[in-house]
Amino acid sequence: LHVLADQYEDLRHLRDTPYVCFSDADFASQDDPKLRSTSGFCIYLFGSLITWSSKRQTLTAKSTMEAELIAASSAADECSWMHQLLTSLDFLFPALKLPLPGVPLLVDNLAALQTANHPRTNAASKHIALRQFRIRDYSGDNDVTPCIRCLWVPTKLNVADFLTKLLQAVDFARLARFLVNLPPSSTDDNPALGFYLVSPL
């Protein structure tokens, strides 16, 4: 995580967190007759994959932004539970400092990120069901400790991409190794990036 935080200034918060969540969506999956999108997320705790999901969305999204927001909202539910669990089990992890920082929720769609982080709607988002905007509640305000922090991650480093769509062989092999914390292959374009999950906190 430190390598990723050092390379991207927007991800500097990853230096002080024991967990991280990656979220992604495949807009209008061609193998679905209703053209519903696919949501995927995976959560790492102390560098180990502990929970993941790949699921067809029940709603038909009208845009990539909406599909990504629905996926992020589902991931936020799991992140909130993880945050509450670790807070209540702090005696098992003496190295953790309370209050715990919010779970970094990494998405690769800037429009979805802006919608999740800013409490306003526009022509592109006013039709989205209100329940998808609970992600803003998890982000907290001045009086509430946030359960999550929505951050941007490059698509090539979004591990959840593995769970949502067909990939080229090179990308599939690279993300598959990252997903289970294996060192990067010597054929990777940038092997150093492979250690953003396996590096110790």
Q: Is residue 38 a contact partner of residue 54, using CB atoms and an 8 Å limit?
A: yes
Q: Mean pLDDT across the stretch 75-97?
A: 83
DSSP for 90-154, written as a single string: GGG-TT--SSPPPEEEEES-HHHHHHHHSS---TTTTTS-GGGGHHHHHT--TTS--SEEEEE--
Q: Whole-angstrom Cα distance, residue 99 to residue 90?
A: 10
Q: Is residue 41 a contact partner of residue 71, using CB atoms and an 8 Å limit?
A: yes
Three-state DSSP class for residue 19? strand
Split at pLDDT 50, 70, 90, the class of 198 is very low
| Weakest-pLDDT range from 8-17, 144-153, 190-199 | 190-199
pLDDT tens digits along 33-72: 888 899 999 999 888 889 999 999 988 888 888 899 889 9
pLDDT tens digits along 69-83: 889 989 998 998 888
